[in-house]
Every structure is written in C-alpha cells, then in structure tokens.
Amino acid sequence: MHFLAGSVEGGDGAPFSALDPIGGAELQPVYREASKDQVDRACVAAAAAADPFAATPPATRAALLRDIADGLQGLGDALVERVQAETALPAARVEGERARTIMQLNQFADLVEDGSWVDARIDHADPDRQPMPKPDLRRMHLPLGPVAVFGASNFPLAYSVAGGDTAPALAAGCPVIVKGHPAHPGTSEMVGGVIQAAVAKNGLPAGTFSLLHGRLHETGEALVSHEAVKAVGFTGSHGGGRALCDIAAARREPIPVFAEMGSANPVVVLPNALRQRGAAVAAQLAASALLAQGQFCTSPGMVVWLDGEGSEAFSATLREQLTGAAPGPAVHPSIRQGYERAMAELTTLPVELSAAADRAVNSSDVCPALLQATPQAFLQNARLRTEIYGPAVLAVVCEDAAQLQQVLAALDGHLTATVHGDGADFVEHAAAVAALRSRAGRLIANGVPTGVEVSSAMVHGGPYPAASDARFSAVGVTSILRWVRPACWQDWPQDQLPVELQDDNPRGISRLVNGEPG
C-alpha cells in the first residue's frame, strides 16, 4: 500500500512483487506502481505542509523522530524477518542496521532540541559608521521545503524510508516523499506505517510524509520533476544518480540532488607496510571486500602497491583469501546481474582474472574475484578505474613511485581512500597521500573503509562521481545541511525575529554575535 499524506491507498498501476533473493520466487503481497495522480497528490500535500511543518517547535520535531525510532523497535522480529525475506541479509546484520537507524533518529532529535545547528549569526547595527551606516543583520538556516528520497537497495533500513536522508530532512522541518526501493517494498511499507503513525500522533500536517511504491523510471522522474519538490536524496548507482541530477537540472526551477553514487575506494600499500606486514594487510583487505558480498558503497575494490619486498606474499594472500571465499547471495537479482555484467566487461580488457571456484549454491550468488592489471592498462582503460559493485578487487602493481603517482593522478573522486604505511612511509610518499586526499571524502590510515561511523565528524561523500556534491556528508548530524538554506533578516523588530535570532537568546543556543561566540 501507498502512504499518501495520511491516507492508505492501493492503486491500479502495474503490479510488482519483491523477489526472494535465494530462490527467486515472488513474495506476497503484490504492490502497485504509483500513478502520476498519486505522485502529484503527495507532492501537493507536501507543499501545503511545508510552512506549517517548518514552523513547528523543535520539541515537536524531536518527538516525531523519537516516536519513529520507538516504532521501529516496536516492530520487533516481524521487521527483521521481512528484511531477511526480501534481501537474504542475516538477522544479525539486520538487527545492527535497525539499531543504527534508531541511533540516527535519536541523534537528530537531540540535534533539533539543542538548536545550535541553525548556525545563527548576528551582526549588530552601527548607525554611526562612516561613510555608510551599518544595518542590523541576522542569519540562520531554514528548511528548503519538500524533499524526495529514493530508498537504497543495499541498506533497506539505514538508507531507506526512515534512513539517513529522511531523518535529517524531518529534523530540518522538510516534508518528505519517499519512493521506496522496489526490491524491498514490504520492509518499506512496515517502516512507512511507523512514520505515518508518528506524524499523526504529533498532530503534524498530513503531507509531512508520504511513501510511494514504484519500480519504473517514469515514477521517479515524475517525482523529481514536480514543482513542489525542492531537493532530492539518493543512494545508488552512478547511472541512477546522474539521471536524477539531469532531470533536476532541466526543471524550470533547478533543484539540488544529493546523490551518493558509489566508489571503488582505492587502497594504497606503501613499501614499509608491504615488507613488514603485507600478508596481514592483504587478509584484512580481503575480509573488508568480502563483507556482505561487497555490497557496501565503501567496499574496497581497488588496491595499488609498489613492487618490492613483500609483494609476492601480499599478492598470494590476497588471491588466496578472495578466490577461496564462498560465494554468497546478492540482495536482489539486479545487483547480481550488474556484477556479472561488470565482470564480463572487464574480461574483455587486458586483465588477469582469478575467480572463486564456481561453488554457487543459488542462482543469486556472486563469486569473489581478484583482477590484476598493469599500470599501463589501468591508465589506458577508463573502465578499470570505476566501481565493480560486488566482491571483486582490482590489483595494480607499480614499478616505482613515479608510476604510482601516475596511477593515483588518474583516479576520479571516491568516497574513501586508504593508505597502509609504517615508519617513514607517509613522509617519503607524501605526494601519493596528497593525491588521494584530493580525491576522497574520507582518508583512512592502516584500516579498512567499510564501517561508516555515524558521528558529527564523519564525511560520507566525496568528489564526483562518488557524490554529486562534495561539500556535504550523507552520514552524521552535519547531513542536515543538505536540506536547508541560509536566510538573512535585516533591520527587523525583535519581536518579529525567529527566537534563535533574538537578542536575549531564549533557547540558549550557540551563536556568533559580531563575530564572537555569544
């Protein structure tokens, strides 16, 4: 069912069902594609809700977020079982993802109550300034308006209906229209019901939240094209994210699309680390690449090192760990198909392929693989520099530091980059580190990129094509900044100003007054 501005609706659009990722059987119930009329009514309702929702007290928005968090917990095992049925993810992973989703919601509730996130700035007037008087200027963040959120396939909770786009948008005071991912409509429906109930409980406008089901590109296009929508959140493929960016840019009123579109997440192993602990680094890297069959946007899909002592042990361990790993299921058939298509493309290029023995138990399984390319092939073939979504790692062995620098200079933007180094490695190869720093949102030393901490210091984004706007993070409380805009009040009466900008600071938030904290 669709949750449309407080109502629950079916529809007469094209039918579709979630698929059991293991056996491929259709799961009940059958869902219907959202119609253009339903998309329009959800957007119109969100526009009507925008101003009253933005004007709600912070305590009300915090209560909404906490009620959603409590509702997700209250779904109990039924939610875990539905996620498993639609994605084949293990129960422990689903429970961990639900805990993360709940934590995000509660973090944003705390942020809203604190209030300092509005970044209030006050510059007092100076009527005696020469040659021109200085006006009184006050600035803070305001919500953009209705936000369209596209659910992600690989994180059915943390990046979907109540996930990392929806939570900060609601916290900022933006109504949200979610297009649920067609791979897990049952999960989306359960979570959407929780949000709709929380909206009603807190007396908020019905258009504060809608959930629409759909698998057709036309449904997403209609949503992004609607004049009521003021911003878009997306986590998924580069093709999907770029298509939404192009649609949004072509509107009469262009709007921002904050798209996180994947990454090869390069790993560089420097000489001392290679010599002293190469086999251990290779085992750690392989474990990270195999986690959840490589179905993380931060999965390490590329490793580069300088040939030398330890190179053979590193390469042998990496090959053994990857090719000896058991195949496992993709969360839905399109990911498996995409992985197989990518592997077929790469095998037409000058690469050496070492794949796991075909021990697939189910037709949905993906087989881990190690590919190796020369630096020359890497530089000459752009496809080798892009993401392989799944449990595959591309290895590039360089002859010297100059060749390493050429390889790193050819990289596009990535969500993460990892450097393993010991002793003087970081100093002696500072140019390599600098090259990675300019091409990644998060730079990791002697670790793995999988595991994205939800904190205020996290950056989950990066230069294009990892993300559509490198200035923002899709994870952590700073992700709220995607859904706001700065606004300024000049020479306004005190009693007509937002409370955050009034001189007596009734909320007691952190502010800058005449350039000083106050």
The strand pair at 231-235 and 147-150 is best described as parallel
300 close to 281: Cβ distance less than 8 angstroms:
no
Catalytic residue among 245, 297, 367, 398: 297
Helix (H, G, I), strand (E, B) or coil at 231: strand
User: Is 297 a residue of the active site?
Assistant: yes
Dist. CA 173–CA 165, nearest whole Å: 13
Dist. CA 110–CA 180, nearest whole Å: 27
Those residues whose C-beta lies under 8 Å from the C-beta of residue 343, and which sit 6 or more positions away, are: 353, 355, 369, 388, 392
Catalytic residue among 97, 189, 260, 500: 260
Around Cβ 4, how many Cβ atoms within 10 Å? 23
Q: Buried (b) or exposed (e) across 430-459, using 16+ Cβ within 10 A?
A: eebbebbeebbbbebeeebbbebebeeebb
Q: What are the DSSP calls for 465-503, one per residue?
A: TSBS-TT--SSSGGGGGGGEEEEEEES--GGGS-GGGST
Q: What are the DSSP calls for 116-164, one per residue?
A: GGG--EEE--BTT-SSSPBPPEEEEEEE-S-EEEE--SS-TTTTSTTST
User: Is 488 a residue of the active site?
Assistant: no
Around Cβ 91, how many Cβ atoms within 10 Å? 12
| Nearest-5° Cα angle at 426, 421 to 427 | 145
Those residues whose C-beta lies under 8 Å from the C-beta of residue 285, and which sit 6 or more positions away, are: 267, 300, 303, 318, 393, 448
Q: Which residues are catalytic?
A: 260, 297
